[in-house]
Amino acid sequence: TDHELDYPASPDQMDWASHYPAYFPAKDGTEQKQVEWADVGCGFGGLIMALGPQFPDTLMLGMEIRVSVTQYVADRIAHQRQLADKPGGYQNVSVIRANSMKHMPNFFAKGQLSKIFFLFPDPHFKLRKQKARIVTTALLAEYAYVLRPGGIMYTVTDVKDLHEWMDAHSRAHKLFEYIPTEEMVDDPILLAARTATEEGRKVERNGGDKWVACFRRLPDPEA
Ligand code: SAM
């Protein structure tokens, strides 16, 4: 039902084979692939559908809390897998229903991810709702846990106030370092992050601004 969330007790309990059957188990002698990119609050899945065929060797996952929206993305992926007319045939793309504010470490082991996306997250404009935002100091510690050193966190929003919030909290966190946007101009992944999602397209149609901030996961400080 809508009220029950399914999540593994720990990452090794997660059945990834059912999500990426073409990659499980690994072929003889090769290392088992794992999910490396997570699109948090993926909505209708535009990002992973765009990046899947561009990066067919990377397993990527959309995470979405709404049941019907998750199902829509799952159907979209299943349909594209049947067509199989693009590199990778979308076998490297999947979606899961999850509350990313609660369960990231249930799904991913420490340092498993190399990219994490927060694209046009719900703004929670009202002051008293700000603690419900998906980027907070407490949650950044969890995102840092699942991101490997050198991994990148992408944030994009059309809400300036939310941008300033995510930017300030991430810059203040000792495990994240701001990446000047100039360094990212040629990054095709950032291009997709800004333009490929349904919300990003809507903002474009309406002529809205987009605010971008990317952060690198720093190495853990020496104990
Ligand atoms: N990223 C997509 C895009 O750019 O089109 C969707 C943006 S939409 C404004 C925000 C999405 O985040 C919604 O689909 C919402 O259901 C989802 N969401 C909100 N809180 C979430 C949470 N705690 N865990 C997972 N998804 C969440």
Contact 177, 221 (CB under 8 A): no
The alpha carbon of residue 188 and the mean position of all alpha carbons in its chain are separated, in whole angstroms, by 16
85 annotated active-site: no
Binding site, by residue number, is 41, 64-65, 99-100, 119, 197-199
Per-residue pLDDT tens digits for 106-129: 999 999 999 999 999 999 988 888
Q: What separation in Å is there between the alpha carbon of 199 and the centre of ligand 1?
A: 10
SS3 content of the chain, % helix, strand, coil (to 5): 40, 20, 40
Q: Whose CA is nearest to atom 17 of ligand 1?
A: 41
The predicted complex's ipTM stands at 0.99
Tokens of residue 163, six digits: 């941008």
Residue 201 neighbours by CB distance under 10 Å = 13
The residue extents of the domains of the chain are: 33-217
pTM score? 0.96
Strand partners, 166: none
- The dotted CATH code for 33-217 is 3.40.50.150
Closest CA relative to residue 104, chosen from 57, 158, 153, 58 = 153
Q: How many residues does the chain have?
A: 223
**Residue 1 reports pLDDT greater than 60:** no
User: What pLDDT score was predicted for residue 3?
Assistant: 63
Tokens of residue 112, six digits: 């498993």
Closest CA relative to residue 143, chosen from 98, 119, 108, 172 = 108
Contact 85, 122 (CB under 8 A): no
Query: Residue 160 burial (CB < 10 Å; 0-12/13-18/19+)?
Result: exposed
Per-residue pLDDT tens digits for 135-165: 988 999 999 999 999 999 999 999 999 999 9
Out of 15, 75, 85, 122, which one is annotated catalytic?
122
**Residue 193 reports pLDDT greater than 70:** yes
Closest CA relative to residue 197, chosen from 154, 161, 165, 162 = 154
Q: Show the ligand 1 pocket: residues with CB < 6 angstroms.
A: 41-43, 46, 63-66, 69, 98-101, 119-122, 134, 197-200
Contact 89, 98 (CB under 8 A): no
Closest atom of ligand 1 relative to the 123 alpha carbon: 9
Q: What separation in Å is there between the alpha carbon of 56 and the centre of ligand 1?
A: 24
Binding site for S-adenosyl-L-methionine, by residue number, is 41, 64-65, 99-100, 119, 197-199
Rg (CA), the chain: 17
CA–CA dist 10, 157 (Å, integer) = 31
CA angle 166, 167, 171 (to 5 degrees): 115
Tell me the average pLDDT of the chain.
Answer: 95
**Residue 17 reports pLDDT greater than 80:** yes
User: What pLDDT score was predicted for residue 125?
Assistant: 86
